[in-house]
Amino acid sequence: MKKLAAKIALITGGSSGIGRATAVAFAEQGATVIIAGRRVEEGSETVRLVKQAGGDGLFVKTDVTKVTDINVLVNKTVETYGRLDYAFNNAGVEGTIAPITEQTEEDFEQVFGSNVKGVWLCMKYEIEQMLKQGGGAIVNMASVAGFVGSPNMSIYSASKHAVLGLTKAAALEVAKSGIRVNAVSPGGVETDMQERITGGDEGAKAQTAAMHPIGRIARPEEIAAAVVWLCSDAASFVTGQSLNVDGGATV
């Protein structure tokens, strides 16, 4: 029997990369998956992959920086499936890669809007629903950049430090309500974002890989496995934590 049969999972930023891999991983364990994102074609492709993996689900076009979109997303989930068991708040952007003196107010607003406000808004409505039904599990997308500084990515690094703070505070608020809140903090991962950060340069890619003692960057499926575990009953006594899936980079 599949471990997550009859469970309902919501994933933001589910159109590609880690979000898509996590949607498929949930489906393989029997969960129904709601994919949220801004790109309809890519989101619909994730739904196809979810169904191919033996699950079910739907795509809801969503901008995580807009309260009306998040309200609609959670309401649509509950209206369609009756509840919300798991949420992976994965949507985010890296912003402009440049020294702090060259970054702009617009860069700050874009990154913090998606990476911090988006996570906060999602948790606000997800927790509201989980309190009504008596439990649930949330995983927020953080990063090793939430533990260390990242040159030329000061705003991104600050945003991921903020995600860890949000995660800890929310976890404490709802710990006695049957709701667990954790974060996953990847190192480098084979995604479109990683390609943009390295500029596709093979030398930069090799340098990034060398920063991980394990000798390579991660596959999206490896991060997905951690997210599914954090949501599952196997992690029933884990809350307020960050699971660093980083090939040893932070040690």
Mean of the per-residue pLDDT values for the chain? 94
Answer whether 174's CB lies under 8 Å from 127's CB: yes
Residue 111 CA to residue 157 CA, distance in Å, equals 10
Share of the chain above pLDDT 90, in %: 84
pTM of model > 0.85: yes
Domain spanning 8-245, CATH class: alpha beta
Mean pLDDT of 167-192: 94
Domain regions of the chain by residue span: 8-245
Q: For residue 79, count CB atoms less than 10 angstroms from its CB and return exposed for 0-12, middle for 13-18, buried for 19 or more.
A: exposed
From 81, 86, 125, 156, active-site residue: 156
Mean pLDDT of 142-163: 95
Mean pLDDT of 131-143: 98
Q: Computed from CA positions of residues 36, 8, 239, 174, in that sequence, does the dihedral angle turn out positive or negative?
A: positive
Q: What is the pLDDT of residue 212?
A: 85
Per-residue confidence band for 231, with pLDDT thresholds at 50, 70 and 90: very high
The answer on pLDDT for 48 being more than 70 is: yes
Would residue 81 show up in a list of annotated catalytic residues for this protein?
Answer: no
